[in-house]
Structure 1
Amino acid sequence: MSLLSARNLSRSYDRAPLLGRGRPHRVLDGVSLDIAPGETVALLGRSGCGKTTLARMLVGLDRPDAGEVLFEGQSLARLPKARWQDLRRTVQMVFQDPVGAVDPRATVGDVLAEPLRNLCGLSPAEIRLRIAELLSAVELGPEAVGRYPHQMSGGQLQRVCIARALAPQPRLVILDEAVSNLDVHLQIRMLELFAELRRARGVSYLFVTHDLRLVERFCSRVLVMDTGRIAEDAPAALALRSPAGRALQEAVLPAWPLAGRLPPVGDLCDPSALADRRQIAR
């Protein structure tokens, strides 16, 4: 059984023109997908194709106009309150904008403690220990605990958001451009961390991106989105065939530096071997 599934999701938003009445803009149009336990899937597409809207629906932060999201075979629309706690603990998301994803009045320690307290029920001593482990995992020192978001760089804050997503030991992490603002060294380290969690605990990932270099290094399967639809579902190691996929492959991208430091994609990812974010933390 799939860990998380989407069935024929559609979503439109009203436009607000300067004059007159605008037509609804369809962002998703009959999208279906499945993510199996231990699988690493890329959701690839140009900016504005609906990737982030789909990701928000998968974690219950937005509702479709039609279709449904299934968590372990059960529709989110009919999910009992007790099961929502399971969903929050099992499925975590790292948002594209780290600044907007955290409370500016909270310290890093507070940000990381929230899911540990609300989703895991740890004691204060256990929370302090787990926070130290999480900061070390994302290569931040213990001094970061007392810092506020404005005292950190964008890359540091993104690593805090990654640590927060990993805090309740989820089984699926949705990464929405989660490493795009990190330097090359940290991108490699975070991918190695994600791969180790997949190997050790069978963690699944939905890697939302437009960067084919990361897809080739990290993912075993790729979904190509175009104008609100899934245009292609293919193994990441193969050449994409859809027009949208070929357009992305043919885009001019710089070579991936330090490529030799990462193992091949098969070794990494073979599936066989502010208010929104706080809502997930609760």
Structure 2
Amino acid sequence: MSFLSAEGVSHGYSPRRSLLRRRPAQPVLSEVSLEIEPGETLGLLGRSGCGKSTLARLLTGLETPSLGTVRFQGNALSSLDKPGWQAFRRQVQMVFQDPQNAVNPRLTVSDIISEPLIHLTDLDRAQQPARVAELLDAVGLARRFARRYPFELSGGQLQRVCIARALAPRPSLIVLDEAVSNLDLHLQLQMLELFTALQRDVGVAFLFVTHDLRLVERFCSRVLVMGAGRLVEDRPVTSPLTLTSPEGQALFQAVLPAFPVQMTSLRERLPLESVS
């Protein structure tokens, strides 16, 4: 049984209503089926507007497909009761591309990371600060950042707070929706090292939504390619990465330069943030 799957999923969004007529929904996804196995690192590649982020939101239960079924450990999300949703939320976490819109600006970093600890774990309030400190260490932020507010952090720092929040309940799957795109190259590698260690040590699975072929080749074991709302290619990741679909070839035309040789080892560790 797959950990998370989509079966014939289609979805669309209704445009703004006209005063004269009701316009039909614009299709975004069409008959998408996929499976994510426990402990797998799956890449989801595609150009902007192809439906990657919409698919990620459907898989994490943030939206409901117009047609088809999303299943968690064999059970349709639409059939989950309250305990089932609690288990799903604990085991499936998501990190969004835009960290500014993913956090409450009135909460401190400690409060942001503690949210899933309060609602999805059995840790009492006395135990939560130690877990927050552990998570800040994991994403390379100094512990003093726990007292800061989002406006006091850079975009890259705030994204690492969001990654720490996703890690907090010890999930079985993390969906990364362009989650390292706004980090610099050093921090991208540091986060990939962290994700690789989590997969090795505790078997976390990842769905890595991106347009960056370099990161897929570095991090993923299997890759799906999307084009115009459909999955057009499914293949194991090789080095060098080979894609045969027209959509995959188009991504190669816009590929970023290779990682510098001196930065290709994921064993490199970076110091904690030194910003006061």
Alignment TM-score, normalising by the size of structure 2: 0.92
Match of 1:4 in 2: 4
Deviation at 1:18, TM superposition (A): 7.6
* Distance across 1 between alignment mates of 2:80 and 2:258: 45
In 1, the alpha carbon distance for the partners of 2:71 and 2:19 equals: 40
Aligned to 1:255: 258
CA contact (8 A) 1:56 1:62 kept: yes
Deviation at 1:259, TM superposition (A): 4.3
* Contact 1:94 1:176 survives alignment (8 Å): yes
1:164-195: CA deviation from partner (whole Å, max 9, x where unpaired)? 00000000000000111111111111000000
Aligned residues of 1:217 and 1:262 also touching (Cα < 8 A): no
Q: What does the per-residue CA deviation read over 1:7-66, in whole Å, with 9 as the maximum and x for residues that have no partner?
A: 011011112388854442100100011000110000000011111111011111100110
The aligned counterpart of 1:241 is: 244
SS at match of 1:67: strand
> Could you tell me whether the CA contact under 8 Å between 2:173 and 2:204 is conserved in 1?
yes
The structure 1 segments of at least 4 consecutive aligned residues displaced by more than 6 Å after TM superposition are: none
Which residue in 1 is equivalent to 2:30? 29
Aligned-partner SS, 1:125: coil
Q: Sort the Cα spacing of 1:24 and 1:197 in 2 relative to 1 into closer, same or farther, 3 A.
A: same
Report if aligned partners of 1:40, 1:218 keep a CA contact under 8 Å in 2. yes
Quick one: distance in 1 between partners of 2:119 and 2:19? 46
Does the Cα contact within 8 Å between 1:38 and 1:198 map onto a contact in 2? yes
User: Structure 1 residue 67 and structure 2 residue 68: aligned?
Assistant: yes
Give the alignment of 1:28-67 within 5 angstroms: 28-67=29-68
**Separation in 1, partners of 2:5, 2:264:** 35
**5+ long unaligned stretches in structure 1:** 264-282
Separation (CA, whole Å) in 2 of partners of 1:261 and 1:19:
59
Alignment match, 1:275: none
> How far apart, CA to CA, are the structure 2 residues paired with 1:112 and 1:28?
32
What CA RMSD, in Å, does the superposition of the two structures yield over aligned residues?
A: 1.4
Q: How does 1:161-176 map to 2 (within 5 A)?
A: 161-176=162-177
CA–CA distance in 2 between the matches of 1:193 and 1:201? 12
1:230 matched to 2:237 = no
